[in-house]
Amino acid sequence: MALSYRPSLEIDERHRSDLRSGIGDTRSMASGASQRQAWIIDQVPVREGDRVLELGCGHGVAASLLCDRLGDGAYLGVDRSLKMTAAASDRNRRHISEGRATFQTAQIVDADLDGIYDWVVAIHLPVLDRGDPREELVAVRPHMTPASRFCIGFQPLDGSALETAIERLDGVLELNGFKVSEVARGDPDGRPTAVVFAEPSDL
């Protein structure tokens, strides 16, 4: 499968129009996504043909939103919990049957990531939010190119701590071979939320 990498993070005008008109919100509600999940995924401008890796896929709600936009692209969701990947597989039966989605039960450092990804997505992944993700970042970087983007979405319990959390994540990423290129901020359910976009800094 040919991979289509893009040099920038600009969201195309059709996607911007959808967000303004609420099309994204309608699609997200149909998937069972929370406002927070829907807003975070709407910031990630995936396109048909892209390859997406999600770290900590949980019940597969974000997977549904992403796969709906991938067309003939590919999605791999990794979670250490068999219960979560079973639920994600059940939720995304259509995408699996059409060859678009795959779910894998594994620790990130042990996962068979297989190939290069346009987008690596993580939403509320504990090791990124408050742990030491050195090993996870080392495992992911070989599967990215300079044009790939790492998209990390989170919503602190204390909304006033958002900027502190962004600064902490910026430092952690820089120490492990990534640089932050953009930060999207919003309050989709009345609480401050962010998506940090990062790129490999030494590829």
Per-residue pLDDT tens over the stretch 41-64: 999 999 999 999 999 999 999 999
pTM as predicted: 0.84
Statement: residue 30 has pLDDT above 80: no
| CATH code, 186 | 3.40.50.150
| Burial grade of 105 (CB within 10 A; 0-12, 13-18, 19 or more) | middle
pLDDT of residue 47: 96
**In a domain? residue 127:** yes
**In a domain? residue 132:** yes
| Higher-confidence position of 12 and 92 | 92
pLDDT of residue 31: 56
pLDDT of residue 130: 87
Any idea which residue has 């609420």 for tokens?
A: 22
Tell me: the pLDDT tens digits for 64-112? 999 999 999 999 999 999 999 999 999 999 999 999 999 999 999 999 9
Q: Which residues pair with 153 in a beta bridge?
A: 123, 195
**In a domain? residue 22:** no
Q: DSSP assignment, residue 10?
A: P
Q: How confident is the model at residue 198 (pLDDT cuts 50, 70, 90)?
A: very high
**In a domain? residue 99:** yes
**In a domain? residue 93:** yes
Q: How many domains does the chain have?
A: 1
Tell me: the pLDDT tens digits for 175-189? 999 999 999 999 998
Statement: residue 9 has pLDDT above 50: no
Q: Across the chain, where does the E strand assignment appear?
A: 51-55, 74-79, 101-105, 119-123, 149-154, 178-186, 193-200
Q: DSSP assignment, residue 159?
A: G
**In a domain? residue 23:** no
Tell me the two tokens of residue 74.
Answer: 């590919």
Mean pLDDT of 111-131: 95
Range of the domain at 70: 35-200
**In a domain? residue 16:** no
**In a domain? residue 137:** yes
Residues 6+ apart with CB under 8 A from 52: 46, 66, 70, 73, 74, 75, 76, 117, 118, 119, 120, 121
Q: How confident is the model at residue 202 (pLDDT cuts 50, 70, 90)?
A: confident
Mean confidence (pLDDT) of the chain: 87
